Structure formats: C-alpha cells, structure tokens
Structure 1
C-alpha cells in the first residue's frame, strides 16, 4: 500500500461495500454446462459401459438373474469410479482457473492497493500501467502517454491512444495497456462490461488436444476396432459350434471386454489434471495441459537475469558525474551528484514499482529536505523504447517551470547527448570500473526543451548528460545450486537479458554459470544469418542488450536445432518470445499481465528454483503415466489370450472366463493404474538423466516390447496352469479358479515390479506410496472372499482349492512376473559397465 501522487482519493471502505452490494462482484457468469450430466452422457458412450449393458440384458433374457444383477452393479461401480476420477480432474482444473485470475491496482482511501480483479467495484479508481490487463470498463480521469491494445474486441492490432481530454476516453475489460499509465473510474463490471456481453462466444472456444493425447486416443481407437473385429469372429465361431445366439453373443462379449483398454484415456486425463494441481500446490500455475507433458522434455532454459538469477532488490550503490570525475556511494554525494540522483528520480514513474525506480525515489527522499513531487504534474511521457532502450518524462508545475528527465542504457543516453570524444571515454572507463563488480548501470540526462510541440520520439530532444547511477542486485543465495540441478539433468541454461555484457558476466561468474566468458549482443545477433545463428545459439550461453525481435530469433533458432525451449519473462517485450517457446514461464509477482497471458506456466513467487521442481514433476508424471499404460498393456494381453486361445483351439474348457470374471479384473486394474501409479514418487535417477526426446512416440518399440513380453509371460503362466489342471483331471471350476488366481497374483506382482524398470523390487518397496499397500490389501481381501466364501465362490463358479493347488497357482503367478527382475539386474550391470 502506498500514497499516490495524483490527488485522487478513490472510494472509502464503506463505499466499496455499498457498491458491491448494489452491483455484485466483477466476475463473468454464464449458463454453465451441467458437468454431472455431461459426464453421464460421456459415460453412456463408453464402449465398456455399452458392452456391460448388453451382457447384462442377455443374462436377464437368459434367466441368469444373478449374473445380470452383478453386471448391472458393475456398471454402477465403473460409472462411479469414472465420475470420481472425472470429478478429481475437474476440481483440479477449476482450482487452476481460480488461481490464474489477475490482480489489479486501485486507489482507495487515498492509497494505492492491489486487490483481486473480482473485488473491483463500480466507482473504483482503477490504475493501469504498461503491460497490465484491464479488468473492467471505465472512464479515464488521468493519463500519461496512454495507449491500449483493443484487438480482443475490435480485431485491430494497432494500439489506440486515449486520455481524459479526448472523446475516446473509455477503457474496456480484457484489453491490455500498450504504453503509459491511466487512472479510470469503473463504470461497468462482470457481465455488464463490453467483453462480458460477448463472453459466451469466448467461453465456447475449445482447447486443442495435445500430441500425446492424440497418440493415446489413436491407440485406444485401434484397440476398439480390433476388439470389434475379434468380437465378430468369436461370435461366428461360437454360433456355428452351438447355434445358440445369446450364448455365443455372451462369449464374444467376454473377449471384447478383455480387449478394450478403457483405463488408458482415464489415466491420461487424471495424471495430467492431478499433475497440474500438484504443481499449483508447489507455487507453479500451469495454464495449459500440454505444458505438463512438455516439462520433462525441456532441453534448454532461457532465463533473464534481474529477479530470476538475482534478488531483484536493487540498492542504489554508486554514482558518477562528469563534473566530479569520481565514483562514490550516494551517502558521499556532493551537489552535482545529488542533482544527478534528483534527475534520475524525475525520469522514473511517479508511482514507482520497478525496484530501481523505488531506490531512486528513496534516495530523493533521503537527500532532499523539500519534496517537490506533489507540485509537479506529468504533462508528457515517452515510454521505454529504442535499441538500446531509454525513457523520458516531462513534468511542469503551476508556475510553468518544466523538468525534462531521461534515463536508460548508458549507450542510449550517450547517443542523444552532446558529448566530446574525451567525455565519452571518461564515461566508458567509469562504466567498465563499475560493471566489473556486477553493478547494473543507467545513464541519466536532462533537456532544456521549450514549447509544447513535443518531438515524435524522445531521441530528438537535445540532452545534457548528467552521469551514471549504479545499482547492486545480489545473486539469489540458492541460484548456483539451482543451476547445478539443471546441468545434472542435462538441461542447458542461457541468460537472455537487456543488461550490458560486463554486468551480466560479473554476476554469471559469481554464480558459477557455465559459459560466462562469452556473450553476444542483440545488435550482433540480428546481423547473423539463420544458419549462423542456429550454430551460435548452441555455442553462446549469455545474450545481452536483448530486445523483442532478438529474443524471438533466439527461441526460433533453438527450436530449429530440435531443442525443447523453456523461457522466463516478465515484461511486455517478452510476450512474443514467451508465446513462441515450448514452455513460456512468467513471474507471478513482477510479471506483467501480457507476460502471464503469453506464458503457459506462472511461477507464483518468482522463485526460479521452482523450475527444478517443475521439470522434476514433469518427468515424474510422464514416467508414471508410461508405467501405468505399460501395466495396462501387459495385463490385458493374458486376459485376451486366456479367453481367446482355449476357444480358438477347441480346448476342453473353451470358455474358462465369463463377463463377470473380466469385469472383476477390470475393476482391479482401473484403480491400480490410475491411483497407485499416479501417486508414485519420482525415481531417484530421474533428474540425472538427459531429457527425453519430445519427438519420440510415447509407445516406442523397446518399451512396447517389454510390455508385450511381460504379458506373454503371464499368458504362459495362465495357460500352463490350465493345461496342468486338465492333465490332473481337475474340474472346470477348479481349473477356472486356478487360472483366475494366477491372473490376480500376476496382477499384484506386476504392479510391484513395474514401479521401476531399472531399480529392483527391494528398492521400490521402500518408496513412500501408502496406496500400494491399501490397493493390494483390498485386492487380496476381495479375492479371498471370492475363493473361500461359498456364496461368492458359487456365483463366480469357483471351487475351493487345497493348499497344494493354491500354492502352485500363487507360485506360477509370481514366476510369470518376477523374471523381469533379472532383466533389471542386467540393465544395471550394463549401465555401470558403460560408465
């Protein structure tokens, strides 16, 4: 909260409450779709639900009421699980939507306050600055060089200039400030704004599916088609054997159920939504689902310096003037150096928010007994622009006394000042001396321009060079450790900053940044051809004096080199590059709304170390999703083949499993893949591996082969038990019970073995995931009830096994999975031998 210099008091607390009661909150409210009804409609279209319904009806028609009721109950259970997972995903995404609502600045009770945009009320004095998103409609009552991009409403990309003395003085919700500052009295909020009235069309825009989502959907569709084909074949075989239409249809439905991997899309949605929610709890807001799957693939992180690698706590450290010819601290300033600091303050925003400008205002307060700020009114402003950049402010008091002050990159100020060669050399020597210690420098100048016909650009003024002000922004304490985490993870880090090379190199050296010795400026970068630049961006790690076009070229050149690029940014000028990067990262506190809108991820506390956590979470989510899907593929194979082979080959008991057995196995597999694997912790070697190639298919042949081999091994186990039972002249019910037991045991051990495809089961048992014990415990309990409680055993056509039969079934199930532990041992030996 800070005092304002505009003599605007705004609403009182009481007036705010009255306005809120009268006009409501500043939120857009539309008739939302009934999410529960939508979910139910979606469920009704699910192939598994349709198959269960058909099978249940056939059982009813056939007079097998018990089986019919069980399958009808299964429909309810499957639906409940799907709705639960859908609810988790929706809730996680709703929380993300709430979290990404922008804040805004208002003047209330004479002070500047930052509030949530939904708390804005009619009558409020809204303050908007360059880069801000306007959160309600209002009428301008004060402005300085103010322009707005209204393309969201008009489609016109050019900024529109507005002020309080113009007919065009209304600002609209959803537009963004292109330059300057304005204070507006709010006239309309929420649905009554211009944007609110056309908001329904914006709400209807659907997000495109991600490459991974498309791959998974394509895989599931192929399995559905395969299931349909096999269903028709099996139905035909059964019918021509028995000429019983309903019985043959049931047997075909059994196989169709075993083929459908309906858990896969559910697992994908759950993993991505819950992953985004987990990131949000860590202070990382993910705006787009695709970002979650991209995070683990990042190969390059382009970061700015100020506020990301450094504390962004600018302290005014040194001053230099040509007249004094010395470099001193502000406390040692003589009259000319005090004048320099005063001019630098006037070149800053009247209400400072940038740390350097805050420091300059504070130095003015400390060094000058008389505060003249309230006597002067800003009459014109030239926002930060140019290459290198500078900014100019014009103030005037009631007596007509005028102050024209400029500050910016020393090169920019020197270029517009009347300096001799000797003076330029003196300034350059001072700059080198100051920047060698990591100080950030600004040039300061003033002008004696008279008249009101102001030049079109600030560079046309004739400036008098005042001197150099230097700030120290210390590196963050943990930043060297953060960089090492990125280096260990195989991720390149590049500094892309508007600061000069000397200051950047000094800071980079202090934090042990790799490649601090070499740098490239924005101007030099723009001279390179595309091919030259593509090679250069891989060699150079520090880019200085950057501007929007140069930043964008860096991102595009890295992408051309097949890099997955993450980029941090906070300013208006970072927007294009943030949008172009695979992962645009905006700062939650110091980031402008334009940067946040362009980015796909927001660091709430501006803590760059969170990116290590984000990358780790991205790798964890991707790895766990892959484990879940490999598990689904592996366990579906033995179910499919155990149903199909005895039927196709005409074995003694051709229909060893019925729909009730298949649906029971499905009920076990669903929670296992989407709950246990989603909750798995990150493997300890995840952040010391190179990023996975983003272009590679999710189902690569090596991993798919592993899943197929595991599935075939379990199939061999079930069919071995089948033939063993037949050879021992066991009944069909005993054979079914033993085969089913093998499948359950294999399912349990597959869950444990596939928790890692590298570390042994003894290592993964130490992982902290309480859901493993819970889900496996429930599975064992329910299976025991089915095998040993007569009413359940009779329903499932099971027969109580003796100790020998039970032991051999458990043993075969265990062996059919545990063999993969020897593959892991070989993998670890080869890994160590290769080092």
Structure 2
C-alpha cells in the first residue's frame, strides 16, 4: 500500500482510496485477499543469528585475545591450573555478553505485547469481533472506552472521544479526536483525525477505517527503527579495545626483539631463550585486568541498584560517567505526568495553588497567605464547578501508595484542587449534562441547590468569553483575554469556568441555554509540573558540564515555559519537529548544539537528534518512558527508561532503568559512573607497573645474560595475587571532591593519558630497577636460587602494596583526611601479607612455586624498599601538582 498523508484526506477520500464501504464494511472475500497482499496485523520477526554464532561472537575482542594468549602460554609451559583459571574467566565473560545480546529482541517482544488481541469490525454489513491479527486496510473498526487500538485508523466518527497517546507522542493530556482533514506538515501528536496502534481510548466512542496494519503502523515503524538501530559501543569498550591492541603490539614487538637479541648476542640455548621470552610475555600480560574491570563495574552496578538505578550491562556504568549530553523526555521524566492546577485567575487577583500532582496536598494562596474559599463566594463557585462539572474520579491506590485518577487528567486535577481548599468541596448531584465534545470545547452540568438549579460550565476560555458577551454586552473580554495570555505564557493550559442559575422547574439543559444569563467566574491555569528534584538535578548536571536537552511532544511555548522552570537555557528558543524534518542530517548536526528545547517531536526526530549529537563527539544519554522513545533509547550511548511509568518497550530498549522515575537518580548514576571510571583508571595505574617492573627485570636479565630472577609460575603468582587483593581495594575508593566540578571527558580521550604513561613507566623503573639491583647483589653472593626467587618475589609484591596507597588519590597527597575512608585497602593489604607468608613458609607451596622460607629479618628489605617507593611517588605527585597549577594559571 502506498504511503499517504491520511490526515489530509476527507473521510470519503479515504473510503475511495481504500476501496471500502463505511456502511457495509469489507466483504470477507476481500478481507482474505488483502491479508494475502498486506500480511497479518503482526510485527515481523527479526532475522535471528543461531545461538552458537551469538556465543562465539562474544570472544571477538582484543582483551579476550590477550587472555587467550596468556592461556596458551601457560599451557605451553605446562601450568595447567593457570590455564584452566584463565579459560574460566574467558568463558564467564563470554556468557555475560551472550545474555546481554538479547535486549533488542526483548524490546521487539515488548512492542508486540502492546497490540490488542481482538477488534470489533463491520464486515458484510454486520458487526463482528475478530482477532486483531486479521484486520486489513479498509476494515471498519469500532472503539469504546478502555479499548487498546489495534491498528492505525482514519476516524469516521468520534463521540466525545479522547485517546491516551502519551506512550506514543509523549504528551500527558488526552487527545480530543476530530474528523475534518488537516494540513500536511503537522506532527504526529496533532493528527487528531487519526487513531494509532498501541494507544488506548480514554473516553467516548468512535470508529475508523484501517489505514495501516502491522509494520506499516506508526508502532510498526518504531519496531523497524529499533531493529535497524546500530547500538553504539560504550566509551570503555572502545578504549579497552584500543588499549588491548596496544598491549598486544608491545608484547609481540618486545618478545620478538628480545628473542633476536638473546639468540645473536647472548649465549642462551634456543629452548632456554624461548622459555625466557615466554616468561617475559607472561610478565607483561595483565591477565587479571579484565577480571578486575568486570569486578569494579559489577560493584558499580550494585551501588547504582542501591540508589534505585538498575543497569543492565556492566560497561554502561562507566558510560554514565562519560555522558556530556542528556536528552530527556519531558513527560513523566522531568515532569510528574500529573496535571496540576497552579493558578486561579479571579477578576481582581491571581491566586496561587501549592503542591503538585494528584495528591491533595497543598493550599490556595494569595501573596503567600491562605486564601479562604469560605470568605470568597466566587472562588467557592469556581471550585464547586470544577468538582461538579467533572467525569473523573480521584482515589488513593493502596498497592502503589499513590494518588491516582480515572478519566481525563485535566478533570482529575480539578478534583485535587477542590480538596486543597480551606473548606474542602463536595460535588453537587447532577441531573442533566452536556458532555464535553471537541467540536464545541466545553462541558456543562445542571444540579439542584437549595431553592434553585445551578448550571456549571467549564471549557475553552474563548468559547466561554463569547457566551458571557452574549449574556452581557459590557463583559470585559479584553481584560480576561490578557489574563488568559499571561497564564498561557507560563506554559499553563487555561480553562474557563462559568455558571447560570435557573428556577427549580429547569430539569434539562441543552446548548441553547448557554448564550444568556451566563456569569463568567474565572480562569484556572493547569500544567504538568516539573519534579522539584528534577530542577535540582538539572542544575547539578550543568555544574558538572553536562548539557540537558528537553525533548517533548508539547507545543513550543509550553516547552519553553517548562524549560525555564527547570533551569534549562531557552535563550535560543525551541525548534519543532516539523522544522527538524526539513533539515538534512548535516544541517541538523550544525544546529543541534544551539537548542536545548525540542518541541512537537516525532520518534524519528528523537533518533536523529541523538545521532546528530553523536556526530559532534558527544556521549549521549537519552531518557524516556514511552514507546516513542525506544529507538532513541537504543541508539543513544546509554538509554535510561523510567521504571514506574515506563512502558515495557522502553525498559527493554534502555541500558538503565530508574526504579523511582526520579531524574535526580540520573545525576547520582552519573556521579557513580565517574567514580567507577576514575577507579578503573587508578586500577590500571596500579596494575601495569607490576607488569612493567617484572618485564623490566626479566628483560634486563636477558640483556645482561644473567639468571632469570623469577620463573613463569612465580610471575603468574605476582600478577594474580596483586589483582585479587590490592587491585580490589581501589574499586571501593570514594568519589574525589573535584570529580563533579570538571567537564565530561572528551569522547576520544585515551584510557591512559600522557601523565598516566609517565607514572606507569616511572613506577615500573623504580620498582623494577630497585628489584633488579637487589637481585644482582644476591646473584653475586652465596645464595640459593630458591632464596633469590623468594626475596625477589616478595620485594616486588610488597613494593606494589605500598604503591597502592599512592594511587588511591590520583595527584593529591595520599596522607590526607581520607586516608582511612576506605578500610578495604587495609584489609586486602593484610590479606596480601598472609598470602606472601603462605607462599614463603608452607612446604607444599615451596615445592609448587620454587620458594623457600626466609628469616624474619629478611622482611626488612622488602618493607623498607616499599616505603622508599611510596615517598618517591609522593614527591613526584607534589612536583606534578605544582607544574599543573602553574600551567592552569
């Protein structure tokens, strides 16, 4: 079926294009033919790779190659225990990755579950219920309150019909449906003569012609866009891949050079030299690093879960710390998704209403003092009109412990408003009603009161103004229009309230009763209010150099007003979805940085905005809760879904889910992400000098032609014992105070800065050089090989233990007030000493690792050397701090 702008066509044009009959519906034979042509009303199954291929794909990573190389080397050396341990690490990493790869398929399943299972249609002139999957273009479908709409429809009838479309369009209010053709260039949320698959009927009844089924629906297009979106690799994965390639290249280069040097310039046998080179490679490979990275990330995941942020993949923890832009959906994320009365405009004053959401907590104020409805008859009448002329219900849900409404959100907030009055308002009994209809934009009720009948009227202010003018030629329309405009500029949706009294003989009202005797009472300004904690979080994000961009389905003026309340810069105004549609990808990339407010956006707009920001080297987080957010959540560097009000689709498409739907939780997650990343860097800064020192000692021993100071198994012991004890402590280091005052790191920032490379080389040379000199001293004396190996091993390990306390704080002094804040550092240091005593004094460990017991006094040398290393690095940090401050000034 060709693509058409169905909202621009009249009902009869739609009928003709789809070759159907509004009165009779399709014939069964025709419906069957169209199923064969268009397919069933289901979303297509994506092509799935076989499970074995998905599993093998998890090992296509440079760091995995490094681990596998270590396994091969240990196997060649005959150390099968080490081979098995490394292989298990690789296997666990592969299993975790395999489980994570199913997220996209789960997102598609979430969308499928939104489709209605059945539908009421007219075929062969009769109404009948059929399974929704058998609907075809041209079918006539009937809708009633509570129905989930199964296909996209061009409406042909709409009796007071309101549709809940927030999951698709992002707007909090229900949409009043119309029938007339609309202009072509309007957003999805403005196509009021269409009804979309996956949305639901909130009120009224209607019917429509099926214009799209399955993958052709707006929901289906979102499904396709999720499947097509290529998930961006996290910054950590990109950095570790580059780092892994560098490590692999260095190891290969050094090994080849060392073998050639030893073969031609030193008197080594080939087998002995090969064993030495393999030992060198084992020394340089950071076998424990991938496991330690996973542990640090896993601890970050647990910490975020404690803070009500569920992260579904380990690298996403670190990605949060790198975020430079948060593209936030407005409804339910930055706002409460609960309409709230904020102002009451009387003829002589503007009243403020405190509290937000549906909870009846707050009061009506004038200049910060309670304004009593008991003493103002007009205010009392406005409140009484709001609760009487109303089809909604307000109730406290015991299960969720929240106040909720049934019915229209706009009407629901008027019930809450009535409860906030000093003397709470109870609705009058209604004996006659004119239901709200989008055609006339008002609602009226008739109720008995004392010795009269009173008609309350609420609706679009301009309609009520014209009624008041018809009743009173002196009605001050200009004054009230100005008051209405002032409320609208604050981003508020404005409702007018009026009344008329009758004698008790009046039992029924109709439209003719609305144009005489009308007394206009006032205006009520309502809006979906910002979350107070979101305002604070936005401010904190901006202080940390993170841009916050609001993407919403609201109109431009409303979006700008909400942006101002949130503290988001609106200096450039807002750009609308239709304007984005007119821009090429290149043009959008050029202007995306200018705007922080994006209004009337479509799902395609959101995904394009994320892509445009990514082309500017931003690391983008996208928050959202609706189906319409899913493709952008999937495309973003990290998608953040709302746990309470979010759809299952958005939760499956996102990398992180907020349990409490609290925007402030995102900022806490960003802080945790930065802490995790800093600790990852500190871990590398700590581990690599171990490998560097061992590599330096072995390399220089080969160059000098001396006995190797450590065996390959002893090297593996050093690498693993340091990794499972000392490295583990850094994962618990608290956030440094300056972390949230610096701008997000650039996307292409290498994992190791020039300063880090300098520190790694310096510590490697200090520990390696000191150990080598002591080793050469022992070789010149009358010491056994086992004693030399034991002392060399303990010297390197204890030096690393002291170095741990250097790297706990990157450049600030280690001996400061936070020195004792991380008790884990002291626990693991004690554990390390116990392990070194174990390998030194336990007989079967002596046999397995080629060590020997030493005298108590022999421990003085490793500990004194460790202290020397500690103070040298502290001196270096002092010099580096001084140089950095001079450069900044």
Encode CA deviations 1:427-477: one digit per residue, 9 max, x unaligned: 6412233357x57214689xxxxxxxxxxxxxxxxxxx9996422655544
Say whether the 8 Å CA contact 1:521–1:546 is kept in structure 2: no
Aligned to 1:762: 815
Aligned to 2:748: 695
Aligned to 1:369: 429
CA distance in 1, matches of 2:787, 2:709: 10
RMSD of Structure 2 on Structure 1 (CA): 6.0
Distance 1:664 1:558, change over 3 A: closer
- Is structure 2 residue 412 aligned with structure 1 residue 358? yes
Say whether the 8 Å CA contact 1:571–1:592 is kept in structure 2: yes
The within-5 A match list for 1:629-640 is 629-640=684-695
Say whether the 8 Å CA contact 1:522–1:547 is kept in structure 2: no
CA drift at 1:670: 2.9
Aligned to 1:744: 797
Secondary structure of 2:200's aligned partner: strand
Gaps of 5+ in 1: 1-29, 57-70, 104-116, 118-131, 144-149, 184-201, 383-389, 394-404, 446-464
Aligned to 1:55: 77
Distance 1:35 1:662, change over 3 A: farther
Distance 1:301 1:786, change over 3 A: closer
- Is structure 2 residue 486 aligned with structure 1 residue 433? yes
CA distance in 2, matches of 1:584, 1:697: 24
- Is structure 2 residue 118 aligned with structure 1 residue 139? yes
Encode CA deviations 1:369-421: one digit per residue, 9 max, x unaligned: 23889x99x9x999xxxxxxx9999xxxxxxxxxxx9989x99999xxx999x
Secondary structure of 1:46's aligned partner: helix
Say whether the 8 Å CA contact 1:629–1:673 is kept in structure 2: no
CA drift at 1:281: 3.4
Aligned to 1:178: 197
CA drift at 1:724: 2.9
- Is structure 2 residue 306 aligned with structure 1 residue 281? yes
Encode CA deviations 1:593-636: one digit per residue, 9 max, x unaligned: 45445544332211111111111111112112222223232211
Say whether the 8 Å CA contact 1:716–1:816 is kept in structure 2: no
CA drift at 1:820: 1.8
CA distance in 2, matches of 1:539, 1:38: 40
CA distance in 2, matches of 1:566, 1:230: 41
Among candidates 287, 295, 303, match of residue 262 of structure 1:
287
CA distance in 2, matches of 1:45, 1:535: 43
Secondary structure of 1:471's aligned partner: strand
Distance 1:559 1:643, change over 3 A: closer
Say whether the 8 Å CA contact 1:518–1:540 is kept in structure 2: yes
Encode CA deviations 1:284-333: one digit per residue, 9 max, x unaligned: 23345554333112223344555444555433355679xx9997899947
Secondary structure of 1:370's aligned partner: coil
Aligned to 1:147: none
Say whether the 8 Å CA contact 1:491–1:690 is kept in structure 2: yes
Aligned to 2:868: 815
Say whether the 8 Å CA contact 1:431–1:441 is kept in structure 2: no
The within-5 A match list for 1:720-799 is 720-728=773-781, 730-763=783-816, 766=819, 768-789=821-842, 792-793=845-846, 796-798=849-851
- Is structure 2 residue 242 aligned with structure 1 residue 212? no
The within-5 A match list for 1:485-500 is 485-497=540-552
Encode CA deviations 1:59-87: one digit per residue, 9 max, x unaligned: xxxxxxxxxxxx34444555666678888
Aligned to 1:665: 718
CA drift at 1:712: 2.1
Encode CA deviations 1:686-734: one digit per residue, 9 max, x unaligned: 1111111112222333322322222122221111212333455555444
Say whether the 8 Å CA contact 1:142–1:163 is kept in structure 2: yes
CA distance in 1, matches of 2:462, 2:281: 73
Say whether the 8 Å CA contact 2:840–2:852 is kept in structure 1: yes
Secondary structure of 2:663's aligned partner: coil
- Is structure 2 residue 317 aligned with structure 1 residue 295? no
CA distance in 2, matches of 1:609, 1:664: 44
Aligned to 1:460: none
CA distance in 2, matches of 1:688, 1:820: 26
Say whether the 8 Å CA contact 1:53–1:72 is kept in structure 2: yes
- Is structure 2 residue 590 aligned with structure 1 residue 566? no
CA distance in 2, matches of 1:527, 1:217: 37
Distance 1:300 1:227, change over 3 A: closer
| Length-normalised TM-score, structure 1 | 0.65
Aligned to 2:500: none
CA drift at 1:813: 3.8
- Is structure 2 residue 655 aligned with structure 1 residue 603? no
Secondary structure of 2:808's aligned partner: coil
Gaps of 5+ in 2: 1-48, 123-130, 153-166, 169-195, 203-225, 352-363, 365-372, 395-403, 419-424, 444-456, 498-517
Distance 1:209 1:783, change over 3 A: same
Say whether the 8 Å CA contact 1:628–1:677 is kept in structure 2: yes
Say whether the 8 Å CA contact 1:432–1:502 is kept in structure 2: no
Secondary structure of 1:691's aligned partner: coil
